[in-house]
Structure 1
Amino acid sequence: MRNASLSLFILLFLGLSIKAQPLHQKAAFNRADTLRGTLTPLRTCYDLSYYHLDVSIDIDQKSISGSNEFVFTATQDFKRLQFDLFSNLKVEKVVYQNQELPFTREFNAVFVNFPKTIRKGSKDRFTVFYSGHPIVAKNAPWDGGFIFSKDKSGTPWVSVACQGLGASCWWPNKDHQSDEVDSMLVSIRVPKGLKEISNGRLRSVQKQADGTIKYNWFISNPINNYNVTFYIGNYAHWTDEYQGENGKLTLDYWSLSQDSAQAKPHWDQDVKPMLQCFEHWFGPYPFYSDGYKLVEAPHLGMEHQSAVAYGNQFKMGYLGKDLSGTGWGLKFDFITVHESGHEWFGNNITSKDIADMWIHESFTNYSEALFTECKNGKAAGEDYVIGIRHNIANDIPIIGAYGVNKEGSGDMYYKGANMVHIIRQLIGDDEKFRNILRGLNKTFYHKTVTTAEVENYITEKSGLKLQKVFDQYLRHTSIPELEYKINGNQLSYRWKADIKDFDMPVKVSLTPNNYTYIYPTSIWKTTEIDPSIKDETFKADPNFYITIKFSK
């Protein structure tokens, strides 16, 4: 993603994530933010079912030109709608039933007027033709945009990463996570001699009159906009298969030709064990019909659906470093595991509003601990998730501002994973916890969701009162503090937290070398404790991400 040693220091110092990172915080939101993030009637009036993105990428000029067809069903009567395309890209024309439609722009939003009312329930389509020079990322995927790179032989190596920035930075679409097309055709023309990989399955390769080559990739599953991608370069390709819960899953590997000898054994060590582990915990891989692809990319990584971006330099850990500081993080390739975990959380289950991105990142970050557990045992998984806490900033709430296309804190990764781990402790039954994770992926299969839907599902299936836990960890910056005092064999304790009447159970050392549940509230409570437990030896179970404070 960036220079390995410098980036690791900066990321860990700031407590930020190692992947698609929330953009810089803003003090206030403007009209452009609202146009991008709010679901107005001009966006909800049509429900998308299909895109055909058909473009040519000029590597020398760093430009793009082509079209995108929108196929939709009207959800209400309308004559005007909004789609999105960054203002540095030119809308050449909007065509509907063989006639050009009038349109206007405001910031990155485009408003189209139809000649007649589109009636509710009707299925229709229009095509946007466009061209221009897309944003070139300075430090992808952190800032987003096109990446124009070259391999060691000087051959062009080009891709895109746009989570956070938005897919409308390079192609016209309804750029809101709440509306995913059911299927999509991605057609991309590239110079002769280069290969192009996108999401889904390759339908055809066509020679063009101008000497370029057109690759047509069909995506048969719902996909969110920022996952639509391409990789252009001198690629080697090999295949394998995995016998999974839903039968044969095809595995396609694409590395630069110059890296194929190194890539094959490196990827082999993690991919199948990872898929087996994640299917055990999360349920069947969500995109059997599109297959699983791992593609070497000119940036660190991204969860591009069925075409996972990989740029970890074939090292274990994160660019050779252990983000947990425990040693366990060097037992697997971080990018392979993390970005593939997003196939379940982020790609299968997608948040409607980007403010709820914790749904993507918290569970996926926890998938690293689960994979560690699958390979090395439960204690190793616990060590890993406890170890990543040193990356938590507790700066702003994990949930961002709604309706303005704004993520919350990068703590959605490490702190969010620890919240999931706490919920696992409170459930106290790993099979029940596993069924909840699998149930989430089954209940919300190929759907977009809200935080409330996820919270309510976990609360209902666990049978626990978890709302105050969610509120404290997702909506506040501080973590709950267990205040205690010991007088002889009497332990007094209470919670100090942002949430009124916070009452999360927690395990503590009432006897030596053993943890027992207590049930604190905001009011002091008292219980008996082994006399050998003193102020300095009293501990909380480290599986709970809390602070404890001795009160005199």
Structure 2
Amino acid sequence: MRFALCFAALGALLSSPLSAQDFGERRSLVSGLPLTEDQQAIDPQHLWLDIWVDPASQSIRGKAAYSLAIEGEADVVELELDGLFRVTRVALGKIELPAEGYRHADGLLSIPIEVSRGANGRLDVTIEYEGQPRIAPNAPWDGGFVWTQTPGGEPWIATAIQGEGCDLLFPCIDNAAKEIGRVESTIWVPEASNLYAAGNGSLVDTVVAGDWRGYRWAARQPNTYAIALNIAPYKLIERTHRAPSGQDVPLVFYHLPGDGAPAARLLDELAKYLDWFERRIGPYPFADEKAGIAQTPHLGMEHQTINAYGNEFRVTDEPYDWLLFHEFAHEWFANQMTNRAPADMWLNEAMASYMEALYLRDIAGEDAYRSKLAEYHARIASRVAVAPRDAIDDGAYLGGGGWGTDIYFKGSWVLHTLRGLIGDEALFASLTRLVYATPEPKPGAIAPLLRDTDEFLTILEQESGCELGWFFEAYLRQPALPRLSATRNGQFLDLEWTVPGGLAFPMPIEVAAGGEVRVARFTDNRARIDLGSEDAPYTLDPESRILRALPPPAPSPAPR
């Protein structure tokens, strides 16, 4: 589940480097801002990250040791780091810099490179920092650290930093285009406690150093905001699951004491979800690490291989746990395939939401699928484009503009309509290529990648053989829904699509009349269909396949 406070970046601006100071102190609270020229030239290949977490003072101390590749002209290493932290040490290779040798202001840490670059354009940089990190005002929607207690009164700590970004936890280039090739993180907790620190990737070792106990994790190419802390007196349920792809996937649930039974039930469900996604989309991308769940004090988020789960093990009438399913869907649609820019976030959220509806269809039937889509339809706002070419204003996600809900619910309906237009074969082939960049992904040969809306359009057109630019323009690039007018003319029905800007919209639509279903096909947004008789009743789109603006319901008669 992708939650955010605000997104201010323009997709178009990503190709236009800005000054490092253009955003001031806002930089710490906004993820995905345009890269500076120096940041574009730097590739973070390896990070060794140590974080000491002190529950008593609600503070952390960190050490981030980077191996960077300099791929172009760069005079400065520029990393985002929240201004609430104090930088205590910076070194280039073995050279420790004096305090005046670097600058940390307005959420940006600037380190001049000068002649310290190593052979083959490589550079090692170490940053040590400390402080009380930003507390989440309303996790996970409004992000940061969560410091709370378990029902037993022990520390329970989590991070949820999607919209604000990785710089609330460690120094990083806070942009999806700069995922780190490999992250080896050691999360340290007081040795005297019984706390367990669950992390991304695979557990390499547990070590003790003085008053601290460290949990060493290794993850390849993690989505930067999906690098997370989860600390509690966790108990573990572990098993190995043989997936349809033939992979043996470690399944792990990190749960609070006393919640073992419901956690075991959900781990069984996770195995079912994994099998379904493998058959529908492709191999689980992180089988060499794990499929993990951490019980959290906030609702949830798609932290890579360690999904946050805070749904309190609720049992509902639906035959699945919506939160667990949604977050796990993001292992494919967010962590394996990551949106290139904030304006492409619907590729993550709409996909995950629509997968819920399809999963219900497969396990509970067509009525369950339609019920889920009806639930989504009621929440469509259509006030902001789902995938805008222009700026996403600050506060768009939570500010009531509708973008933050439409990337889930309207986006799901866009996919539902697309499925009806091009068919299952073309849609699922496109989704597989979107996620893996190949029609036949193989376990062990999968690497995360970035995608944008235009790339998805290209893939869909190749797989379906249809020109679909009109579809994307009408549904994704502008906010208003297409409107369909119907005028009776004797036994004929005249239909016309209206789309803002006079856009072409040749969307065929079914019309049920006289016991038959006819398909109206449009030229210049108009169509005529023969109903068979002048008084034949008719129904437009009887299977609700098409996303369109619906007329308001007729007023109820006044009570007598």
TM-score (norm 2): 0.86
- Give 2:17's aligned residue: none
- Give 1:278's aligned residue: 277
* Closer/same/farther in 2, CA of residues 52 and 406 from structure 1, 3 Å limit: farther
* Closer/same/farther in 2, CA of residues 106 and 495 from structure 1, 3 Å limit: farther
**Which residue among 482, 485, 497 is the counterpart of 2:484?**
482
- Post-superposition offset of 1:491: 1.3
**Do structure 1's residue 422 and structure 2's residue 405 form an aligned pair?**
no
Cα pair 1:78 1:119 within 8 Å, conserved: no
Cα pair 1:481 1:547 within 8 Å, conserved: yes
**Which residue among 368, 377, 384 is the counterpart of 1:396?**
384
- Mapped to 1, the partners of 2:489 and 2:539 lie a distance apart of 14
- Mapped to 2, the partners of 1:419 and 1:533 lie a distance apart of 34
Cα pair 1:168 1:175 within 8 Å, conserved: yes
**Do structure 1's residue 46 and structure 2's residue 72 form an aligned pair?**
no
- Post-superposition offset of 1:544: 1.3
- Mapped to 2, the partners of 1:393 and 1:526 lie a distance apart of 31
- Give 1:144's aligned residue: 143
- Mapped to 1, the partners of 2:63 and 2:157 lie a distance apart of 20
1:277 partner SS: helix
Cα pair 2:509 2:540 within 8 Å, conserved: no
1:24-423 matches, cutoff 5 A: 31-32=23-24, 37-101=33-97, 102-116=101-115, 118=117, 122-192=121-191, 193-209=194-210, 211-219=211-219, 221-244=220-243, 245-268=245-268, 270-316=269-315, 320=316, 330-399=318-387, 401=390, 409-410=403-404, 411-423=406-418
In structure 2, what residue type is equivalent to 1:79? D
- Mapped to 1, the partners of 2:522 and 2:551 lie a distance apart of 14
- Post-superposition offset of 1:397: 1.7
1:116 partner SS: coil
- Mapped to 1, the partners of 2:80 and 2:172 lie a distance apart of 5
- Post-superposition offset of 1:404: 8.8
- Mapped to 1, the partners of 2:87 and 2:264 lie a distance apart of 43
* Closer/same/farther in 2, CA of residues 501 and 519 from structure 1, 3 Å limit: farther
Which one is further off, 128-137 or 375-384? 375-384
- Post-superposition offset of 1:512: 4.2
- Mapped to 1, the partners of 2:334 and 2:428 lie a distance apart of 18
Cα pair 1:205 1:213 within 8 Å, conserved: yes
- Mapped to 2, the partners of 1:465 and 1:27 lie a distance apart of 29
Runs of at least 4 residues off by over 6 Å: 25-30, 403-408
- Mapped to 1, the partners of 2:116 and 2:488 lie a distance apart of 74
- Give 2:495's aligned residue: 493
2:178 partner SS: coil
Cα pair 1:353 1:403 within 8 Å, conserved: no
- Give 2:5's aligned residue: 23
- Post-superposition offset of 1:22: 3.6
* Closer/same/farther in 2, CA of residues 170 and 500 from structure 1, 3 Å limit: same
**Do structure 1's residue 465 and structure 2's residue 467 form an aligned pair?**
yes
Cα pair 1:386 1:543 within 8 Å, conserved: no
- Mapped to 2, the partners of 1:90 and 1:27 lie a distance apart of 27
Cα pair 1:65 1:131 within 8 Å, conserved: yes
- Mapped to 2, the partners of 1:284 and 1:532 lie a distance apart of 55
In structure 1, what residue type is equivalent to 2:64? N
Cα pair 1:250 1:291 within 8 Å, conserved: yes
- Post-superposition offset of 1:43: 0.7
- Mapped to 1, the partners of 2:383 and 2:143 lie a distance apart of 23
- Mapped to 2, the partners of 1:226 and 1:190 lie a distance apart of 22
Which one is further off, 480-489 or 194-203? 480-489
In structure 2, what residue type is equivalent to 1:239? E
- Post-superposition offset of 1:393: 1.6
- Mapped to 1, the partners of 2:85 and 2:506 lie a distance apart of 51
- Give 1:437's aligned residue: 431
In structure 2, what residue type is equivalent to 1:238? I
* Closer/same/farther in 2, CA of residues 117 and 472 from structure 1, 3 Å limit: farther
Structure 1 gaps, min length 5 = 1-18, 321-326
1:28-50 per-residue CA deviation (whole Å, 9 max, x = no partner) reads 99724579601221111111111
* Closer/same/farther in 2, CA of residues 343 and 116 from structure 1, 3 Å limit: same
C-alpha root-mean-square deviation of aligned residues, in Å? 2.6
Aligned residue pairs: how many? 517
Which one is further off, 540-549 or 271-280? 540-549
- Mapped to 2, the partners of 1:530 and 1:510 lie a distance apart of 11
Cα pair 1:49 1:182 within 8 Å, conserved: yes
Cα pair 2:426 2:460 within 8 Å, conserved: no
* Closer/same/farther in 2, CA of residues 548 and 389 from structure 1, 3 Å limit: closer
- Mapped to 1, the partners of 2:297 and 2:382 lie a distance apart of 31
2:251 partner SS: strand
* Closer/same/farther in 2, CA of residues 88 and 525 from structure 1, 3 Å limit: same
- Post-superposition offset of 1:374: 2.1
- Mapped to 2, the partners of 1:357 and 1:513 lie a distance apart of 42
In structure 2, what residue type is equivalent to 1:283? G
1:448 partner SS: strand
- Post-superposition offset of 1:379: 4.4
- Mapped to 1, the partners of 2:452 and 2:102 lie a distance apart of 32
1:257 partner SS: coil
1:178 partner SS: helix
- Post-superposition offset of 1:514: 4.9
- Mapped to 2, the partners of 1:442 and 1:405 lie a distance apart of 32
In structure 1, what residue type is equivalent to 2:224? N
- Post-superposition offset of 1:539: 4.5
Cα pair 1:508 1:516 within 8 Å, conserved: yes
- Post-superposition offset of 1:477: 1.6
Cα pair 1:201 1:290 within 8 Å, conserved: yes
- Post-superposition offset of 1:376: 1.4
**Do structure 1's residue 502 and structure 2's residue 504 form an aligned pair?**
yes
Q: State, as a whole percentage, how many aligned pairs show the same letter.
A: 26
Cα pair 1:483 1:548 within 8 Å, conserved: no
- Mapped to 1, the partners of 2:75 and 2:184 lie a distance apart of 27
In structure 1, what residue type is equivalent to 2:409? Y
- Mapped to 2, the partners of 1:207 and 1:120 lie a distance apart of 35
1:268-304 per-residue CA deviation (whole Å, 9 max, x = no partner) reads 2x21221111111110111111111111111111100
- Post-superposition offset of 1:99: 1.7
Structure 2 gaps, min length 5 = 14-21, 398-402, 439-446, 553-560
In structure 2, what residue type is equivalent to 1:201? S
* Closer/same/farther in 2, CA of residues 549 and 189 from structure 1, 3 Å limit: closer
- Post-superposition offset of 1:26: 7.7
Cα pair 2:7 2:394 within 8 Å, conserved: no
1:478 partner SS: coil
* Closer/same/farther in 2, CA of residues 120 and 145 from structure 1, 3 Å limit: same
In structure 2, what residue type is equivalent to 1:526? R
1:483-533 per-residue CA deviation (whole Å, 9 max, x = no partner) reads 111112111111111254322423222424554432335543323123377
